[in-house]
Chains A and B, each alone.
Chain A
């Protein structure tokens, strides 16, 4: 049996050093490889958010009860969402800052919807390491810039929720949202 294999192998080597068995080996291994990858894809994909999680991925918020100077905490994609009704003084203080002084330069206009500058909608997730900053509920510390203050590592945000001091690299994220009426927003 062994000698038989050697004979046919030598015969094949004569044809340019490539044996027919090499082709079979490569073809079989490739076939198995393609099969393994196509099975691996669903096995990996199953860990992505499922359809029911994605279906809950947008939130409607009614703003009518929020008075100037108040904010509310709600949930968007299982994370805290801050909706803040800015007072004219807070708007003025946000607009007074020069963009060149900011770590993540953005104006209040860019962070709000046109004509709705008083409504500041941001995620309540510190851009440093994901804690919930204080300042959205009454009685909480708002930090030295009057916006939000993260108790974990001391990041301070101003009245436009822009990073002013501390380790956080970015302003609080403004999620995609739109006004469906004057007092209702749809987030996501």
Chain B
């Protein structure tokens, strides 16, 4: 694992030497996030977002475990127990707002992390497994976030549960039995609430496990970098500690600054006011939308309005929504360009910034709006571009594009940037 010049863990303290023999946990940490892990010296701040996602997960775990001490997963009292948390529990408002906005922060950070990977080609060999595990984490996160949103048992919770489980109802023949099985009834009620609570508590720990695999898989080839050029020798790397622990520290401080601003000054900015109305199985909210982080996928779901051959529109929408994520699993083989970084790919770069970027923003905007004819039409165009981008444009660009010349090494790229000539660092 790692590079031959990685520093070896050599504890001088006799107790730490004893520990190293019996349980080499300090060695493991040293090799993972200490001086024993050589990292490319040219990482920019976009490389902070993996660590930030980890920080966000820990925040969710801590606040979530505490909220579970005060929450009652019973459909008759769940809503009141959340109000009890907000009004009666000491600092309960802080914990619940931290958990709700923490979910948004987690998604913001993870989306930037994913787009970092898309732009810099981090999904390409030898890091496909890292990318795949990351997508698994993303899917688990979506499931966890959805089930967590159901727990307060407000109007959006209830109708969200109904609509999302309704997606499975689109499956031919077995759809309705599957939906009934998922809910433990014909509509969301106590059975659904209890199983969602159980799984909402379980899945974050599964995510934690997959994160361990994600990092394990990453540390075999080592981190990628903004040039996309592989590490060639010791000159190209610095030890993770203190260089990137310090740099990540800056990122963590900035993360908490944004998080605190959201939490203390606009805690309901990203939420839906309708979720402060207790669940009512007899009345659907006028505009039912998911949380912002699901908007692009929701827009794709709603973009299918006509049946195609024998496939009903409802099923097409569901298939497209799932396909929009599953498609990313094939990305390492769709984009066959040998050059990783978008910096050296003029054509790829244009499609990334002027195609994919606006497309996702437009889908997000449409997903959060009323489904009027105009909005649906725009969603259809954007959804079509989304699939075309990955399935048609990327493979063609990879074939016809002439990449800019790559630097021969990371060190050369760094020195060229700072205007120095290529000299040995000593």
Chain A residues with CB under 8 Å of chain B are 1-3, 28, 32, 35, 42-43, 45-48, 50-53
User: Pick the contact of B238 from A1, A3, A47, A51 — CB < 8 Å?
Assistant: A1
Known A46-B91, A52-B84, A53-B88; further 17 A-B contacts with Cβ < 8 A? A1-B238, A2-B425, A3-B426, A28-B249, A32-B249, A43-B91, A45-B90, A46-B69, A46-B89, A46-B90, A47-B69, A50-B88, A50-B89, A50-B92, A51-B87, A51-B88, A51-B90
Which residue of chain A is the closest to B63 with respect to CB atoms? Answer: A43
Interface 1/0s, chain B 53-68, versus A by CB < 8 A? Answer: 0000000001000100
B366 at interface (Cβ–Cβ under 8 A)?
no
User: Pick the contact of B91 from A2, A32, A35, A42 — CB < 8 Å?
Assistant: A42
In the bound complex, residues from chain B placing their C-beta under 8 Å from that of A53 are 88
Complex Cα spacing A39 to B345, Å: 45
Given known pairs A43-B66, A51-B87, the reply for A1 and B92 (CB within 8 Å) is no
B95 at interface (Cβ–Cβ under 8 A)?
yes
- Number of contact residues on B: which range applies? 10 to 19
Interface 1/0s, chain B 141-170, versus A by CB < 8 A? Answer: 000000000000000000000000000000
Which residue of chain B is the closest to A55 with respect to CB atoms? Answer: B88
Interface residue SS majority, chain B: helix
Complex Cα spacing A28 to B248, Å: 13
Task: Give residues of chain B (74-93) contacting chain A, Cβ–Cβ below 8 Å.
Answer: 84, 87-92
Complex Cα spacing A32 to B69, Å: 27
Complex Cα spacing A50 to B88, Å: 5
Complex Cα spacing A35 to B59, Å: 14
B88 with A52: CB separation less than 8 A: yes
The 8 closest A-B pairs by CB, nearest first: A42-B91, A51-B88, A50-B88, A52-B88, A45-B90, A50-B89, A46-B90, A46-B91
In the bound complex, residues from chain B placing their C-beta under 8 Å from that of A48 are 90
User: Pick the contact of A43 from B41, B62, B70 — CB < 8 Å?
Assistant: B62
> How far is the CB of B240 from the nearest CB of chain A, in Å?
15
A1 with B425: CB separation less than 8 A: yes
B111 at interface (Cβ–Cβ under 8 A)?
no
In the bound complex, residues from chain B placing their C-beta under 8 Å from that of A32 are 249
